[in-house]
Chain A
Amino acid sequence: MNTEWMIEALERMMLIRAHEETAAALQQAGRAPGSCTAIGGEASAVGVVWALGEDDEILTNHRSAGHLLARGADPNRLLAEIMGRQDGYCGGKSGPLHVSASELGVVLTSTIVGGELALATGVALSRRMAGREGVVACFFGDGAACQGRFHESVNLAAVWGLPVLYVCENNHWQAFVHRDETMLVDSIAARAPGYGIEGARVDGTDVIAVHEAARHAIARIAETGRPYLLETVTYRLRGHFEPDDMAYVDPQEHASWAARDPIDLLRNRLVGSGALDRATLDGIEARVARRISMAEAFASASPFPAPEALTTHVYA
Chain B
Amino acid sequence: MTMMTMMTMMDAIDAAIAAEMRTDPSVLVFGEGVATKRTALRDEFGAARVRNTPLAEGIIAGTAAGAAATGLRPIVDLLFAPFLCYAMDEIVNAAGKLRYLSGGQFSFPMVVLAHTGGGWGVGGQHNHNLEAWFAHAPGLKVAMPSTPADAWGLMRAAIRDDNPVLIFTDMALAYAPGELGETAVPIGQARVAREGSDVTLIGYGKTVPACLEAAAELARASIAAEVLDLRSLKPLDEAAILRSVRKTGRVVIAHEASRTCGIGAEVAAMVADAAFASLRAPVRRLTGPDAPVAACFPLEAAYSPAPAAIAAAARDLMGDHVPRDLALAV
A residues adjacent to B (C-beta < 8 A):
57, 59, 88-94, 98, 100-102, 107-108, 110, 112, 115, 117-127, 129-130, 148-149, 152-153, 155-156, 159-160, 312-316
How far, in whole Å, are A12 and B106 apart by their CA atoms in the complex?
Answer: 28
Q: Is the CB of B69 within 8 A of A122?
A: yes
8 Å CB contact of A152 from B54, B68, B93, B141:
B54
Interface positions, chain B 131-182, Cβ under 8 Å from A, are: 138-139, 141, 162-163
Min C-beta distance of B327 to chain A, whole Å: 46
Cβ-defined contact, B54 with A156, below 8 A: yes
Q: Which of B15-23, B97-105, B208-216 lies at the interface? A: B97-105
Q: Interface SS of chain B: helix, strand, loop or mixed?
A: mixed
Chain A neighbourhood of B100, CB < 8 A = 93, 313-314
Residue of B nearest to A108 (CB): B98
| Interface flag for B63 (CB, 8 Å) | yes
- B94, A115: Cβ atoms under 8 Å? yes
Q: How many A-B residue pairs have CB under 8 A?
A: 147
A94 with B66: in contact, given A126-B71, A159-B54, A315-B163 (CB under 8 Å)? no
How many angstroms between the C-alpha atoms of A127 and B102 in the bound complex? Answer: 21
Q: Is the CB of B59 within 8 A of A129?
A: no
Which 10 residue pairs are nearest across A and B when measured between Cβ atoms? Answer: A122-B66, A118-B62, A119-B66, A91-B103, A316-B162, A152-B59, A122-B67, A90-B103, A316-B107, A313-B104
Distance A240 CA – B317 CA, assembled complex (angstroms): 59
Q: How many residues in B have their beta carbons less than 8 Å from beta carbons of A?
A: 42
Q: Are B106 and A107 in contact (CB under 8 A)?
A: yes
Say whether A118 contacts B90, CB under 8 Å: yes
Across the interface, which residues of B come within 8 angstroms of A98, CB to CB?
98, 101-102
Pick the residue among B93, B105, B107, B162 that contacts A100 (CB under 8 A): B105
Asked whether A119 lies within 8 Å of B102 as measured between CB atoms, the reply is no
Chain B 53-73 per-residue mask, 1 if CB under 8 angstroms from chain A, else 0 = 110101101111111111110
Q: How far is the CA of A68 from the CA of B163 in the complex (A)?
A: 27
A-B contact pairs, 13 of them (CB 8 A): A98-B98, A118-B59, A119-B62, A119-B69, A119-B94, A121-B62, A122-B62, A123-B66, A149-B62, A160-B51, A312-B104, A315-B139, A316-B108
Is the pair B70, A90 in contact by a Cβ cutoff of 8 Å?
no
A110 & B54 in contact (Cβ 8 Å cutoff): no
A108 and B94 contact, CB distance less than 8 A: yes
A-side contacts of B314, CB under 8 Å: none
Interface residues of B (CB under 8 A from A): 28, 48, 51, 53-54, 56, 58-59, 61-72, 74, 89-90, 93-94, 98-109, 138-139, 141, 162-163
Is B163 in contact with A107, judged by CB distance below 8 angstroms? Answer: no
Contacts of B93 in A (CB 8 A): 112, 115
Chain B residue numbers with a CB within 8 Å of A92 are 103
- Check A108–B62 contact: CB distance below 8 A: no
Residue of A whose beta carbon sits closest to that of B53: A156
In whole angstroms, what is the CA distance A159 to B89 when docked? 23
Contact A118 B105 (CB under 8 A): no
| Given known A102-B105, A316-B109, contact A155–B54 (CB-CB < 8 A) | yes
Contact A152 B105 (CB under 8 A): no
Across the interface, B94 reaches (CB within 8 A) one of A118, A124, A156, A160, namely: A118
* A-B contact sample (20 more), CB < 8 A, given A122-B62, A153-B62: A57-B70, A89-B105, A90-B101, A93-B100, A98-B101, A108-B66, A110-B94, A118-B62, A118-B94, A121-B62, A122-B72, A123-B70, A125-B67, A155-B54, A156-B63, A160-B51, A312-B104, A315-B99, A316-B107, A316-B109
- CB-CB under 8 A from B139, the residues of chain A are 314-315
Contacts of B48 in A (CB 8 A): 129
In the assembled complex, how far is the CB of residue A166 from the closest CB belonging to chain B, in whole angstroms?
13
A142 to B177, CA, bound (A): 51
Q: How far is the CA of A91 from the CA of B54 in the complex (A)?
A: 38
- Chain A residue nearest to B97 in the complex (CB): A98
Q: Would B66 and A148 count as touching, CB distance under 8 A?
A: no
Q: Verify A119–B54 contact, CB threshold 8 A.
A: no
Chain B residue at smallest Cβ distance from A123: B66
B48 to chain A, nearest CB (A): 7
Q: In the complex, A153→B59 CA distance in Å?
A: 6
